[in-house]
Structure 1
Amino acid sequence: MVLDGHSMAFRAFYALPAENFATSTGQHTNAVHGFTSMLINLIKEQKPTHVAVAFDVSDDTTFRKAEYDGYKGGRNETPREFSGQIDLIDKVMQAWGIKTIAMPGFEADDVLATLAAQGDAAGFEVLLVSGDRDTFQLITDNVFVLYPKQGVSNIPRMDAAAIEAKYFVTPPQYSDLAALVGESADNLPGVPGVGPKTAAKWINLYGGLEGILENLDKIGGKVGDSLREHIGSVKRNRRLNHLLRDLELPVSLQELEEPRPDHDAVEELFDTLEFKTLRTRLFALYGNESKDVHAESIEVPDYTTLTGAAELREFLDAGKGQRSALAVDLVPGGIADDAAAIAVARPDAAAFIDLASLDAEADAVLAAWLNDPHAPKVLHGFKPALKAFTARGLGLDGVVDDTSISGYLIQPDRRSYELAELAQHHLKMNVSTEAAKTGQLELAFDGEDDGAAAGALVQQSAVVLALSHHFETELTTREAQELLTSLELPVSRVLARMELDGIAVSMDRMNEQLADLSKVIENAQELAFAAIGHEVNLGSPKQLQTVLFEELGLPKTKKIKSGYTTDAASLKTLLEKTGHEFLVQLMAHRESAKLRQMVESLKKSVADDARIHTTYAQNVAATGRISSNNPNLQNIPVRSEEGRRVRGIFVVSEGFECLLSADYSQIEMRIMAHLSADPGLIQAYKDGEDLHRFVGSHIFGVAPAEVTSAMRSKVKAMSYGLAYGLTSFGLSKQLEISVDEARTLMKEYFERFGAVRDYLRGVVEQARIDGYTATIEGRRRYLPDLTSTDRQLRENAERVALNSPIQGSAADIIKRAMLGVSEALADQGLKSRMLLQVHDELVLEVAPGELEAVRKLVTEQMGAAAELSVPLDVQIGVGSSWFEAGH
């Protein structure tokens, strides 16, 4: 999201009365207040991942002013009350962490155009917030303009369809229209007698301004004479209103990612501006409430530096039975970081230990304490710490809290669980940046700054201890203590082992797939060209529209801003209708290009040991699902055969027999049957029936054997959709049927399975009363927006209330299964190991001779992971690759 700073600042200025917004020193702040309030609302509503604000530089310095001295001339003098407010807005953005860009010689619109082009090319959805109509020319399938209708509170999204409806031209043609009609805001006079409708008629008739210029002699009447007389002005207008998309900006897209406010800087600036409610709203946006008083800084506790075995033993023995906070300095080291130093904090004492300085006896004392399950320890980032100790040959037991996870259990919808943010929010304390970098401290014990590094680590341990004590009450209130100690912390241990082990990949297969995909892409492109008799850019929606709907005359797809959509879903439907060879090859080209990009990304992730080591996170998905990143193995497609083949590059290691894939069958629908207690669904599962065929036979009134694949697909889509708050309109779009048919389908479903209807109604109403939903294991998700007066926020919360118990219960069940499988493997002394967890699937590497034992224990443990009123069905596959095992 990119904002035109000056444009929106002026809108804010005129939307709020200046006399009501001024500091005690006389500085007017209505533009600053309105702009900041608007931006808070926009970020809350649009949830952009990247944000920037562009500002104009003096008109006298722009290339447009250099060409035409009258450019933007005749504007009213800037109100005195506006003076200084742009600079203040810039300061607010700095404190907020939002990059501001001003390019000498150019305008803010050119910055917007450049970022729009960069974002579009990188696959982003781009939102341009501007009150300047010139930005309409930038709209594409992925670029939209938020154009204020009134002040800065009503800012609807303008897409191509909106532009065409209002101006009768496409977005790329808007600058042609403005060149003909003129733009009073920029002091660019148009052709006398030519209004928007006349200009649009000419543009559509001749294909744009260039076509109009080529056919000047064909345009008759007075308006034709007027056009010919003012053609120089039209050309000049077009040059000046054309926005530049290739500026060399001082920032990259990556630098605009996820801006976060500097708490101290915001507090200080907003004190100066005398803003109160805005402070609260801004911090609440990031899950960090504002404070009536300044946060207290956490001072570094008095600590002892320990090196010898005797003093180390004395310190650790003195703390027996007490909860100790452990902070670990991590030194990056590839697959697993190494532990360079630790700090230990208790309520009564603190110590710093440089691991490299310990002799063998002292090392043994520390190792014994770290491994002692009866010495309670708390950390912020248990999993990375465990991996770091493992890399050093040390263990870690007795961990009773990981504040990054307990903070997540308390507030699963926070955007971040960094130590500094949790301390500010929960303890009202400020933590130094250095001390807060859990997992990546890099304190560099080089002898030059040992004291500062040690102090930062000790401070971190003190913060972790304070947080852990604070969270005890919160966890008890939310009944989440059991989830932490019996589920999440043990799962962290299992995930650490899985991350360290990684999974083997075949570079030969990977390179072979890349070569095959390249051939498919090239062949599909050639055949696509042959089908239409000429070359075309298969990645250009505009060129595809011309080919499909003008040259080939195929049925029109959904009308969008730039014509008719060429998205994957629409082209698939078009292919089913027409079977045209060009579409066959276009779809093949798209799918293969996407897969090649994925395989290339996976190739970059292969470590020196020829294995891929993904990183799992337990505190990203609010439902409790484990997420995977670097690389994200959950993104590998499984619906297409070619997509599943990507799994073929993941292979069994040398010295192991095979890979085993264990997948829950229809786990979310089984949870739905259990939670709703619907007798029909429960009986179907107990009888081992095909659920969707069973439901289809009841809805359509036919025998199970007579349920067609089309009927089954409709029932499947609806069954899963109902669990996610799918409406009859949504179902109609998904199944490409009428809303009436979708409504009838849902009505008949609920008539047959009334308990499902009652459950879905009841779960939302109960959540409105309780303020939260809960999984089978009691994992809560608080939803304050269930009582919001904002309809959109309320309906979003209702959808979350519907799906969280089901998705969250599925997450809890697979975690219980992982613990059961891990424990069973250890109890039976097996050498087989668990490597991956992806959605509802576990992938294990089986040691020679252990296949039947592993198959049996995995089936038993996954089946016993939850006590439901329906059986948990586990599907097992075996093969030399993940692809073969999953078949």
Structure 2
Amino acid sequence: ICTGDRDSFQLINANTTVLYPKRGVTDLARMTPNAVEEKYGLTPAQYPDFAALRGDPSDNLPSIPGVGEKTAAKWISEYGSLEALIASADKVGGKVGESLRANLASVELNAELTHLRSDMAIETKIDELLWNGVNSEILNKLLDHLEIKAIKDRVKILSGSSSEVVETKTAKKTTSIVSKEISADDLAKLLVGRTDPIAIEFSAPENKILEYAVATDEATLFLVRDSKVGDWLTNAKLPKYLHGAKEISRTTEISGIVFDTELAAYLINPGGRNLELSDLTERFLGIVNAEQEESLFSQFDGLGAPAIFKLVPLLEAELEERGMFKLLTDLEIPVQAELAKMEMIGIGVDSARLAELSKFFRGEVERETAGAHKEAGREFNVGSPKQLQAVLFDDLGLPKTKKIKTGFTTDAESLDWLFAKTKHPILKHLLRIRETSKLATTVDGLIEATAKDGRIHTIFQQTVTATGRLSSTNPNLQNIPVRTEEGRKIRDCFVSKEPFVTLLTADYSQIEMRIMAHLSKDANLIEAFKMGEDLHSTVAGLVFGVKPDGVDAEMRRQIKAMSYGLAYGLSAYGLAQQLDLSPTDAAILMDKYFARFGGIRDYLAQVVVIARESGYTETIMGRRRYLPDLTSDNRPRREVAERMALNAPIQGSAADIIKVAMLNVADNLKRNSMKSRLLLQVHDELILEVADGEEKDLIKLVKEAMGSAYDLSVPLDVNIGIGTSWDLAAH
């Protein structure tokens, strides 16, 4: 028995040994009857009596004051058993004897709890409990459901060697596929005139094709050990299946993609993270790809291509069943192709100005650090929470913040609180250091990401967010600050480059509130939008019972926070914190709001109920988000899921609409043979590079393309800005 529980020592006999960890699992003590006697001077049968006297803090069993392990072992050895010791307790002398007599009740309870029961009827025989290896099929389903990837990776080696299920499935995979090496020219001839689909897998480190595989069905594979690819790759009439096609599409033109297994799996489970081809073959085909030691001489086998072929009908059936197949073919795959083009183009930057900003922010950090040292009266590492705690709470005696494991928190929120409370000048320096350090890191990341062509080629992540929104990495362009002057200076470094003359930015005005009006069918909110005036002032007028021109800035602020907060499941308590009101006043404000906008209240109540019954939420285009925690017994988890259920249809619908808008703009640019081009999609904003002489026509084209993206019950209002930089093009 391998265990760290010493109570198991009572089980030790001639047939049973306990392996007890001394220092983790790498150093195990082999506890036999002799080893127990050598360590404690007792037999294994006497061990529970000794443990009852010693107590065990880990099991909350109290010890006898003044009685340690040596005394406990001596008593059991001398009297033979705990029962005999208790019978002779009056004879035990000294202070330890008094302590024993005073604690007899707890010792007897300890004994009852420490003795393992041996009178339970167990029908199972020991040989029926033998481990026969990993059942990969069941285990993988469970780990996928729980979204635990680390364990899955670690058991692959075990499953590859000991699981019969895995061995047969792996054998089936390797023996049933006919693989043939072929030249690029011969493959091109083979595919001439073909209109049936093919599946493709590329070996393309850093997006440079070295070799590739084409499967013409589930069992026929052609391997090309060459970077040369024929015209068939750009033939739109030849349907193609790929996995994660955007990565290779950034550098290689591909036409005719009709199915992408990565995108399909993402739509089926947008909250999941395991979208690698190997994960999908395990989940849907039961094929476990046991970890193999990589070597410089390992050869590309192309087996991913037939695997893709096998996955397509399974994933397609799942999508059809959920009503999302058209979402894949009509939205996500065309968006993928457009994003690949945008990544290839990139956005121009002014490298000299970025370098100046980096120098400025680094200088600010140094200046503010010197100021903080002066206020502290000594030098310290401003980036070290431990040293910061010593300065703020020990040296300067400032009020303590929230207690954490390592002392008291020194995060930005806590420093803000401390500054508001004490106005101590060191805090002003520290907050400024945090702010400028972050900006400096952002700028340095942009400098590092700038390619030789003077442009930044960010990578759009299409399969990451659970709501369907895009994110971006290398670098994250959705992270560029917009509300501060210094953040806008960073945006000012994103510029148009010759032969293009300006940048155009376009976004939707109050898109989430318009979707709320559409979904809730609230007559008052729909009317407020149709009036075409300032929405928040109109809504505030209705809530507070005044005319829109009688709404002051505070009224407008409160209603704006309320309107947007409701779409994110904001509670009265959350609203109170946001607006610095009492929870009672916040609840009164919410009641007033719902009195005028009952349709919103009814919609928000209904959407959670429907999601709980069905297990998922849906956007206006049928994108689903599954929320199993809506029925959880754990209240905090259930409440988080409820907030997601409120938000997902609105944020997800906004994501769907901006994707349609992007495709509309791209199609219209192509149809009108315009040179202007799409560069970025950031949240609900599109950024284009404007060709000389096209500005007027482009503004009209973008407004129409975005305004017609979806027929809501309220008009889609589009804001447009033009300028030589991203900041100057703001609207």
TM-score range, shorter chain: 0.7 to 0.9
Deviations 1:402-452 (A, max 9, x none): 0000011111111120011111111112346689xxxxxx998xxx77xx4
- 1:485 partnered with 2:329: yes
Which amino acid is 2:236 matched to? P
- 1:811 partnered with 2:672: no
8 A Cα contact 2:237 2:256, kept in partner: yes
Give the superposition deviation at 1:738: 2.5
| TM-score in terms of structure 1 length | 0.64
Say how many residue pairs are matched.
633
- 1:382 partnered with 2:240: no
- 1:799 partnered with 2:649: no
Match of 1:329 in 2: 203
8 A Cα contact 1:326 1:345, kept in partner: no
Give the superposition deviation at 1:571: 3.7
Change (3 A) 1:643 1:303: same
Change (3 A) 1:415 1:310: closer
Which amino acid is 2:348 matched to? A
The 1-side partners of 2:463 and 2:317 are apart by: 20
Give the superposition deviation at 1:496: 0.5
- 1:344 partnered with 2:215: yes
Deviations 1:520-546 (A, max 9, x none): 223333444556666555445566567
Which amino acid is 1:802 matched to? L
Change (3 A) 1:584 1:406: same
Match of 2:268 in 1: 410
- 1:10 partnered with 2:7: no
Match of 2:563 in 1: 719
* Counterpart secondary structure, 2:460: strand
The 1-side partners of 2:488 and 2:375 are apart by: 29
- 1:867 partnered with 2:711: yes
When structure 1 is superposed on structure 2, of 462-471 and 611-620 the one drifting more is 611-620
The 1-side partners of 2:43 and 2:713 are apart by: 71
* Counterpart secondary structure, 1:661: strand
Match of 1:610 in 2: 454
Match of 1:299 in 2: 174
Give the superposition deviation at 1:352: 2.2
Question: Identity over the aligned pairs, expressed in percent?
Answer: 44
* Counterpart secondary structure, 1:781: strand
Change (3 A) 1:308 1:701: closer
8 A Cα contact 1:329 1:443, kept in partner: no
Which amino acid is 1:313 matched to? K
Give the superposition deviation at 1:559: 6.1
8 A Cα contact 1:659 1:846, kept in partner: yes
Give the superposition deviation at 1:150: 8.4
Give the superposition deviation at 1:386: 2.1
8 A Cα contact 1:671 1:806, kept in partner: yes
Match of 2:518 in 1: 674
Which amino acid is 1:604 matched to? E
The 2-side partners of 1:552 and 1:708 are apart by: 43
Within 5 Å, give how 1:131-142 maps onto structure 2.
none
8 A Cα contact 2:210 2:225, kept in partner: no
Change (3 A) 1:535 1:635: same
- 1:735 partnered with 2:579: yes
Is there any run of 5+ residues in structure 1 with no aligned partner, and where?
A: 1-5, 20-24, 33-53, 61-72, 83-131, 134-147, 152-180, 188-268, 391-395, 436-441
Match of 1:229 in 2: none
- 1:286 partnered with 2:147: yes
Change (3 A) 1:877 1:522: same
The 2-side partners of 1:79 and 1:500 are apart by: 72
Give the superposition deviation at 1:77: 9.6
The 2-side partners of 1:321 and 1:273 are apart by: 43
The 2-side partners of 1:386 and 1:771 are apart by: 35
Deviations 1:569-621 (A, max 9, x none): 34435545665544433322221111111211222222222221111121111
Change (3 A) 1:410 1:652: same
Which amino acid is 2:201 matched to? A
The 2-side partners of 1:708 and 1:558 are apart by: 37
Deviations 1:260-312 (A, max 9, x none): xxxxxxxxx96459999988644532378999982412226113333375664
* Counterpart secondary structure, 1:616: strand
Which amino acid is 1:684 matched to? A
* Counterpart secondary structure, 1:662: strand
8 A Cα contact 2:516 2:567, kept in partner: yes
8 A Cα contact 1:338 1:388, kept in partner: no
- 1:430 partnered with 2:288: yes
8 A Cα contact 1:549 1:556, kept in partner: yes
Change (3 A) 1:279 1:780: closer
The 1-side partners of 2:137 and 2:264 are apart by: 31
Match of 2:109 in 1: none
Change (3 A) 1:522 1:274: closer
* Correspondence for 1:689 among 514, 528, 533: 533
8 A Cα contact 2:520 2:603, kept in partner: yes
8 A Cα contact 2:502 2:689, kept in partner: yes
The 2-side partners of 1:679 and 1:614 are apart by: 42
The 1-side partners of 2:295 and 2:144 are apart by: 30
Deviations 1:315-362 (A, max 9, x none): 554xx3422211122132xxx533633323324633223444x6xxxx
Which amino acid is 1:759 matched to? Y
The 2-side partners of 1:28 and 1:465 are apart by: 51
The 2-side partners of 1:375 and 1:329 are apart by: 21
When structure 1 is superposed on structure 2, of 525-534 and 808-817 the one drifting more is 525-534
The 1-side partners of 2:10 and 2:338 are apart by: 60
The 1-side partners of 2:534 and 2:43 are apart by: 72
8 A Cα contact 2:203 2:210, kept in partner: yes
Which structure has the greater CA radius of gyration?
Answer: 2
The 1-side partners of 2:225 and 2:395 are apart by: 73
Is there any run of 5+ residues in structure 2 with no aligned partner, and where?
A: 30-37, 48-55, 72-129
Within 5 Å, give how 1:591-602 maps onto structure 2.
591-602=435-446
Match of 2:97 in 1: none
The 1-side partners of 2:656 and 2:347 are apart by: 24
* Correspondence for 1:627 among 465, 471, 475: 471
* Counterpart secondary structure, 1:401: strand
Give the superposition deviation at 1:378: 0.6
The 1-side partners of 2:60 and 2:502 are apart by: 65
Which amino acid is 2:4 matched to? F
Give the superposition deviation at 1:479: 0.8
* Counterpart secondary structure, 1:867: coil
Match of 1:254 in 2: none
8 A Cα contact 1:833 1:844, kept in partner: yes
Change (3 A) 1:623 1:270: farther
Within 5 Å, give how 1:141-540 maps onto structure 2.
271-272=132-133, 281-286=142-147, 294-295=165-166, 296-297=169-170, 298-299=173-174, 301-307=177-183, 309=185, 312-317=188-193, 320-332=194-206, 336-338=207-209, 340-347=211-218, 349-356=220-227, 366-367=230-231, 369-390=232-253, 396-431=254-289, 452-453=299-300, 456-457=301-302, 459-529=303-373, 537-540=381-384
The 1-side partners of 2:367 and 2:598 are apart by: 53
The 2-side partners of 1:18 and 1:471 are apart by: 55
Deviations 1:720-756 (A, max 9, x none): 2222222222333333432222222222222221111
Within 5 Å, give how 1:529-608 maps onto structure 2.
529=373, 537-541=381-385, 565-573=409-417, 575=419, 581-608=425-452
Which amino acid is 1:374 matched to? K
Which amino acid is 2:220 matched to? A
| TM-score in terms of structure 2 length | 0.77
CA RMSD of aligned residues (A): 4.2
Match of 2:723 in 1: 879
